[in-house]
Structures are given as C-alpha cells and as structure tokens.
Amino acid sequence: MRAVVVSIDFGKPDFEPQTEEFIMLAKGAGAEIVDTIIARRPRPDAKLFVGTGKADEIGLAVQAHDAEIVLVNHALSPGQQRNLERVFNVRVVDRVALILDIFALRAQSHEGKLQVELAQLQHLMTRLTRMWSHLERQRGGIGMRGPGESQLEMDKRIIGDKVKRLHERLELLTRQRHTQRRARARSGTLSVSLVGYTNAGKSTLFNAFTRADVYAADQLFATLDTTSRRIWVDGAGQVVVSDTVGFIRELPHMLVAAFKATLEETINADLLLHVVDHSSPQRDEQISEVNKVLKEIGADHVPCILVYNKIDMAGLDPAVERDEHGTISRVFVSASERSGLDLLRGAMVEFSQRAAVAEVPEEDPRFDARRSSISPP
C-alpha cells in the first residue's frame, strides 16, 4: 500500500529516532513509503493537528504520488483524523492505530489474538462517528437525532457487549496463569522474564538460552505472544524463562491494559532480565522507556539485571559488572553468537542463592553458610 508518512517535530530531543522507528513500523505493516513529510510546530493544531498550510502540502503529495494512505507519527483525536481524511480524500492512520494493526498482524496465540481484538475495539469505540459520516445529512436538530445516531448507538452496544465478553475470556486466562504460578511457587521454581525494548534481541536470547524455536526477526514487534520454557540451571535448579512482548515509545495505554494477562508474567516474576540493544545509539532512552512501562504495569519492584545484547556489533567481549553492593547489575552478551550465556547463567545462580539467603532467618545456622557460598570474587 502506497503511503505518505507525516511526522511533526514539537521540539522533543528524540524526534529523529522516533521518526525512524515509525518508518520501521510502517514498513513492518507492509506500507510502501512514497514520501516523508517533516514539519515543526510549537503545539498541535486543534482541528487538523498539522495546520492548514501543511495539510494542503500533504494533500498535494498524496495526489502527486497516488498514495492510498497517510500515516501520522502521533496520536490523533477522532475529530482530527476525520478532518484530515476530508482534506486528503484517503484513509489516515495514526501511531496508535498502526501499532494496533501490527499487533493484529503478528499475534499467533489464541490469547494474543483476544488481547489485540480487545485493544482494537476499545480504540474503535472512540472513532465510530466517522464510519457513519454518510448519514450526517439525515441528522437534524440540536441533538442530531435521526437514523445516523440510532445506528451509531446500536454499533456502540454491539461493540460494548463484545468488549465485555473478551474481558471475561481474558479474565479466565488470567486465573489459569495464577494457578500455574502458584504451582511453580510451591515447587520452588525460579521465574525469570525477559523484558526490553522491541527488537532488542529478546527472542534470539530466549532461543539461545532455552534451545527453543521462537520466531525471531530484525523487526519491531516480532514477538507478541509470551512463551515460557522450563530449563535446568546448575546451582539454581528448575528455572522458568518467559519471553514477553517488547515495549516502545508511547506504547498505547489500551495495549498495556489489553495485554495485562500476558504482562502479569513480568509483574510476578522473581527476576527480570532487561535486554538492551547495545548497538543502538538510543539505548539509554530505550532503557528509560522500558522502565516507564514497567512502572506503569507495577513491575518496577521486581529485581532486575540489565543484559546488554549484540556486543559482537561493537567488538566487545562478554563481561559482568557489579554494583556498589557487589551484586551483578549488568551482563554483556551476544545472543546471536551465543557468547556470554555462561555469565548470564552465573548471574541467575547468584540471584537464586541470594534469594535463598534472604528467606533464611539470620539466627538459623544455614544463614552464614549460604551467605559465604555466594560472596563475589
């Protein structure tokens, strides 16, 4: 589909990488980008978001390139989207809708598809009016009564009922996950979740670590469905490792809410491995974005180790860094080269042993023995 990309610079420092990221999202959704239009504004225009002059410029670009769609790298209000479509005479898709579309394209599991459908319906609820614009001429009066409104209300009720059913089905899946987690807790199994910015290499690391065959690709949101594998780690015993959906700048709140059941694997994990793309110039900003989402979902209290991946692209060797307390805080690995995985296993073993010490009262004679066995070199 031939697309014109629009990105507006409001003075934020991460404007360029965010625009590049949006272009990657567009290509991942199957768009053929025929033009990219950049503009600067102090604030969004209330009616058209981009302003009248820029809207006319974009409209000319759409005609010149015979574009079929305009992709806007920002969240638009329903009114702004509707007004832009009238100017361009083509469909307008904002950042939120594009991410939802990619999630719908990539979701494979039954639960993942339910979560995406819920988020799409919640997004659609705010935009139903534009679907019935052909009935506007039949509306009249102060309250705009008429066939258009009654059809709109009917659609809202249908979608509302479907949203309720999806919530109920996802709640059932949530209860099943709780049962599974309680069983793991009773067995003393360590729960580890891989989290990180999208395309940081979580799935590649998951495959290397667990010898699984999860889909991994150099694209945003290659993985949407949480996959868990049980492995044995000498010194830590049984460990359940979970690969989770990647995060991104301005991840739509409705997606975070819809993926609550999946993200609870992160909230209830014993340890988070925060996978970072060491080769990315924006890695510090990406770490910050992931931490924001972790706080939003209530997982900022979970112990976390930063795993700097793709060190082979920088010519670095595997390594471990410790904080001022002697605890491992960073591990440098290359998932694609399978280097540094022994250091990561060692970090998990050390965490497991420290957690075991924390559970033993200091007056217990086992405390000193366990503590001395994990003292860092």
Per domain, the residue ranges of the chain are 2-103, 107-167, 188-373
Contact 219, 270 (CB under 8 A): no
**Which pLDDT score, from 0 to 100, does residue 369 have?**
44
Domain 188-373 classified CATH 3.40.50.300? yes
pLDDT at 363: 55
Same fold? 2-103, 188-373: yes
Residue 34 confidence (pLDDT): 96
Consecutive H or E run containing 253: helix 253-258
pLDDT score for 264: 67
Place of tokens 């614009």: 133
Nearest 5°: phi and psi at 191? Answer: -105, 120
Tally of CA atoms within 13 A in the half-sphere of 359 that contains its CB:
7
Q: Which CATH superfamily is domain 2-103 in?
A: GTPase HflX, N-terminal domain (3.40.50.11060)
Q: Residue 91: enclosing H or E segment and its boundaries?
A: strand 91-94
What SS3 state is found at 177?
Answer: helix
Q: Are 329 and 321 in contact (CB under 8 A)?
A: yes
The residue ranges of the chain whose pLDDT is under 50 are 130-146, 148-149, 218, 360, 362, 366-367, 369-377
Amino acid at 236: A
What pLDDT shows up at residue 374?
45
Query: How far apart (Å, rounded) are the C-alpha atoms in residues 377 and 375?
Result: 7
Helix (H, G, I), strand (E, B) or coil at 311: helix
How many other C-beta atoms are found inside a 10 Å radius of the C-beta of residue 126?
A: 11
Residue ranges at the known binding site for Mg(2+):
203, 223
Residue with tokens 């504004």, as numbered in its chain: 41
Phi, psi dihedral angles at 127 (to 5 degrees) = -125, 15
| Residue set of the binding site | 196-203, 221-225, 243-246, 309-312
Report the binding-site residues for GTP. Answer: 196-203, 221-225, 243-246, 309-312
pLDDT, position 296: 82
Rounded to whole angstroms, how far apart are CA atoms 265 and 293?
14
